[in-house]
Structure 1
Amino acid sequence: MKISARNQIKGKIVEIEQGAVNGIVKIDIGGGNIISASISMDSIKELDLKAGKEATAIIKASSVMVGVN
């Protein structure tokens, strides 16, 4: 599959929090870093996402906010 998004980060699914409509998929990308994505439960089922499965976080955004403490 080819896509236009340049920010593609491979990892392993470590947890899926299921909700009524959406779920939170947590992907371990290494170095103690976890990326979380909110996607529909239909997509979770269609992609057959499960903990332990390899996955790629694909990030496409028109803006990124940065904050400091």
Structure 2
Amino acid sequence: MKISSRNSFKGTIKKILIGAVNAEITIEIAPDIEVVSVITKSSAERLDLAERKEAYAIIKATDVAVAVD
């Protein structure tokens, strides 16, 4: 796989929530560190995603917000 995005994290799919249109995918990239993505249901099916399967969280963003309490 070649991709232009530089922020790529390999992990294991921990949870999949399938909705009518979208799917919420939780990928554990390190112990107790998770990335959650919302993709289309058809993309989840096309990628044959399943819990405990290895996957990549690829992050490409134009903005990163920072907040403090």
TM tier relative to shorter chain: over 0.9
Deviation (angstroms), 1:12: 0.1
Moved over 3 A (4+): none
TM-score w.r.t. the length of structure 2 is 0.97
> 1:36 is matched with which residue?
36
1:1-69 counterparts in 2 under 5 A?
1-69=1-69
TM-score w.r.t. the length of structure 1 is 0.97
User: How many residues are matched?
Assistant: 69
- Distance (whole Å) between structure 1 residues aligned to residue 31 and residue 44 of structure 2: 25
Identity %: 46
- Structure 2: which 5+ runs fail to align? none
Deviation (angstroms), 1:6: 0.1
Deviation (angstroms), 1:31: 2.9
